[in-house]
Amino acid sequence: MHEMGIAMQIVEIAAASIPEHLKNSRVQGVHLKIGKLSSVVPDSLRFCFDIVSKDSAIAGAVLYIEEIPVTARCKSCDNHWTIDGPAFSCPRCGSGTIELTSGQELDISSIELEEDANGEQESEIA
C-alpha cells in the first residue's frame, strides 16, 4: 500500500512547512488535492495519515481531501472537457492529439493552524 509512504511524506512536509514564529501552534488540518488518476485511494490515505500523524508534530490534524476530476484539451481544436472513461480522441473533432490538463495532482493546498485565545485563526499556510 503506497498510501502509507504518501501519508508519511504529507506529515513530514506539513510539519516542516510551519513558519518558525508559529511552531507552537497546533495543526488542525491539512488540505490535499488528489487527481482521479493519481492511483491514491482517499480512504486508505486518511487511515494511514491518522496512524502516521498520531505521534508527530501534527498529531490530531484532520486530512481533508479534494478529488480533482480528469480533464483534457484537444491540441487540434482547443476543446476542453472532463473525461469520464477512456478517452483516445477529442469528442468534438475526433483528433487523437489530446493532453491531460488535470487529474494527476497530489498536492498539499494548505495547512490549517489552531485558533488563538481570542478565537481568531492564527494562520493558514498555502
Helix (H) or strand (E) holding 108: strand 106-113
Is-above-0.85 flag for pTM? no
Q: How many domains does the chain have?
A: 1
Q: What is the pLDDT of residue 87?
A: 79
Average pLDDT of the residues in 47-55: 97
Q: Considering the chain, what percentage of its residues have pLDDT values greater than 90?
A: 77
Helix (H) or strand (E) holding 111: strand 106-113
Looking up residue 10, the CATH number of its domain turns out to be 3.30.2320.50
Q: What is the pLDDT of residue 25?
A: 86
Establish if 64 belongs to a structural domain.
yes
Q: Considering the chain, what percentage of its residues have pLDDT values greater than 70?
A: 90
Q: What is the pLDDT of residue 88?
A: 85
User: Cβ(53)–Cβ(11) under 8 Å?
Assistant: yes
Could you identify the residue written with the cell 491540441?
75
User: How do strand 71-74 and strand 80-82 relate by DSSP bridges?
Assistant: antiparallel
How big is the chain by its Cα radius of gyration, in Å?
A: 19
Q: What is the pLDDT of residue 54?
A: 96
Structural domain including 120 reads 3-68+103-125
Angle at 66 between CA 99 and CA 51, to 5 degrees: 120
Query: What residue type is assigned to position 59 of the chain?
Result: A
CA–CA separation, 98 and 72 (whole Å): 7
Q: Using one digit for the tens of pLDDT, what is the confidence trace for 25-37?
A: 889 999 999 999 9
